[in-house]
Structure 1
Amino acid sequence: MNIKGKTILITGGGSGIGLESAKQFLAEGANVIITGRNSAKLEAAKKLLPSLIIIKSDVENEEDAIALLDKVTSLGGIDILYNNAGVGSPALNLGIANDQILKNAVYEMNVNYFGVIRLNNLFINMLKSRKEAAIINTTSILSLVPALEEPTYAPTKTALSFYTRTLRKNLEILKSNVKVFELLPPVVATEMTANRNDKKITPEQLVKALVSGIKKDQFTIRVGDTKLLYVVSRFFPKLAFNLVNPKKIYASLK
């Protein structure tokens, strides 16, 4: 797929993976619109990358999503929708009664899963009207193997992964020109993972792989440790689970 000249909307674009994506897509000759809930981060991104278009919008909020569609339409529309926004909650042991578990799960599902479906539904006709268009969904290495430290976050990414594959096949059946990419990052060095000591890759490394995959029409883009875990999980599921959940984390859940 050709990126140059395309207009791309990136949710959660004010920092981390989203901001790095904006930077690299601009370098590829794309026009970039970013959204986010934090006005200060959006303004800082605009100062760093003056050619950005910034729109404050919360993917969890239906009214915001509809207003975003109207605003993007007035700007001439988009060719690529990159559903990058995501949230995670602190680890909680699911075996111990805690009202916060449900609150975390609802919050994460609303942003990480339902928010993606909402935007895809709103923008799909616009994308289908383009000669070449795409949807990019960021899932996770944890869509392959569950994680004790992310007991409600990991299922949202698994749901999104299944949805992404189904969406891709549905659009193929309809002979649509909308391509559907799934990006599966390992642990990435962002604000969300700042307190973790795991091996991490940089947002720059991740987005380089994303850009390369898009150009090659590589619809499933596994990066770094995700490639290895994918193979291990298929043939040695118990080993894969232990790699993601070493015994040293068990004490933190008691």
Structure 2
Amino acid sequence: MELKGKKVLITGGASGIGLEAAKQFLANGASVIITGRNQEKLDEARKLYPAITAIKSDVSDAGDAQKLFKQVQQLGGIDILYNNAGVLTNPINLGTANGQHFEDAAYEINVNYLAVIRLNNLFIDMLKSRAEGAIINTTSLLSYVPSLLEATYAASKVALQFYTKALRKHLQILDSSVKVFELLPPLVATEMTTDMNGKKMTTADMVKGFIAGLQNDQLTIRIGDTKTVYILNRLFPKLTFNLANPKKSYKVIAS
């Protein structure tokens, strides 16, 4: 896929992977719109990269989504919708009665799954009208193997993975030129993963691999350890589960 001259909308683009992606899209000749809930972070992103257009918007809010679509229309539309925004709540013991778990699960499903569908539905006709439009949905290494500490987060990513595959096939049946990419990052060093242990890939390296996958029309883009987990889980699912859920995670659940 050619990135030069494309217009890209990145949700959750004011920090972490989203901001690094904005930087690298700009470097490849694309123009970039980022969204986020935090105006201060959006302002900081604009100071770093003045070419960026920043729009305050909460992907979990239906009204915000409609406003965002209208603003993007007024800016001339986009070629690429990159659904990067995501949330991860604190670990909770699923084996105990806990009302907070339901609230957290609903929040993760709303942001990580339902909000993606909402934006895709809003922007699909715009993307179909482009010579080379694309949707990028961000799932996770955890869409291959469940996590005891991030159970509902992993579930939201599994839901998004299945939806992404179905959406891609639907558009192919409709003879649409819109490409549907699935990005599967490993554990990446971001604000969201600060308290997590394990080897973390830098945002720069992750996005570099992601951009290369887009340019090569690699519809399923597995980065770093995700490639290993994908293969290992197909051959040795029990071993992969134990590797993803070491004994120390049991202590967190029991505490």
TM-score by length of 2: 0.99
Instruction: Give the 3-state SS of the residue equivalent to 2:151 in structure 1.
Output: coil
**Could you list the runs of 5+ residues in structure 2 that have no partner in the other structure?**
none
What's the offset of the Cα at 1:111? 0.3
Residues of 1 paired with 2:234 and 2:93: CA distance? 26
The equivalent of 1:120 in structure 2 is 120
Structure 1 Cα separation of the partners of residues 27 and 168 of structure 2 = 27
Q: Aligned partners of 1:235, 1:176: CA distance in 2, in Å?
A: 35
What residue in structure 2 maps to residue 176 of structure 1? 176
CA distance in 2, matches of 1:177, 1:122: 17
What's the TM-score once normalised by structure 1's chain length? Answer: 0.99
The aligned runs of 1:81-160 (5 Å cut-off) are 81-160=81-160
The 2-side partners of 1:100 and 1:176 are apart by 42
How many residues are matched? Answer: 254
Task: Report 1:198-217 matches (<5 A).
Answer: 198-217=198-217
1:31 — aligned with what? 31
Q: Kindly provide the CA deviation profile for residues 113-153 of structure 1, in whole angstroms up to 9, marking residues without a partner as x.
A: 00000000000000000010100011000000000110111
CA distance in 1, matches of 2:116, 2:125: 15
Instruction: Tell me the alpha carbon deviations over residues 206-230 of structure 1, each in whole angstroms, 9 at most, x when there is no partner.
Output: 1001100000000000011100000
Whole-angstrom CA distance in 2 between matches of 1:196 and 1:140: 15
CA distance, structure 2, for counterparts of residue 62 and residue 23 of structure 1: 28
Matched, 1:67 2:81: no
Alignment partners' CA distance in 2, 1:159 and 1:145: 13
Deviations 1:83-137 (A, max 9, x none): 0000000101100110011000000000000000000000000000001010001
Offset, 1:239: 0.6
- Distance in 2, matches of 1:109 and 1:10, equals 19
| Corresponding residue for residue 185 of structure 2 | 185
Residue 248 of structure 1 and its aligned partner are, at CA, apart by: 1.6
Output one character per residue of 1:137-186: Cα deviation in whole Å (capped at 9) or x when no partner.
Answer: 11000000000110111100000001001100110111101000001011
Q: Distance in 2 between matches of 1:42 and 1:238?
A: 43
Task: Write the mapping of 1:16-55 to structure 2, written as runs, cut at 5 A.
Answer: 16-55=16-55
SS of residue matched to 2:204:
helix
Q: Distance in 1 between matches of 2:141 and 2:81?
A: 21
Distance, in Å, in 1 between the alignment partners of 2:29 and 2:143 is 32
Large movers: runs of 4+ above 6 Å: none
Q: Which amino acid aligns with 1:201?
A: M
Structure 2 partner of 1:12? 12
Structure 1 vs Structure 2 CA RMSD: 0.5
Per-residue deviation, 1:235: 1.2
Provide the rounded CA distance (Å) in 1 between the counterparts of 2:248 and 2:75: 51
1:40 to partner: Cα distance:
0.4
How far apart in 2 are the matches of 1:181 and 1:210? 10
Aligned partners of 1:205, 1:164: CA distance in 2, in Å? 24
2:164 aligned partner:
164
Paired letter, 2:65: A
- Deviation, 1:11, is 0.1
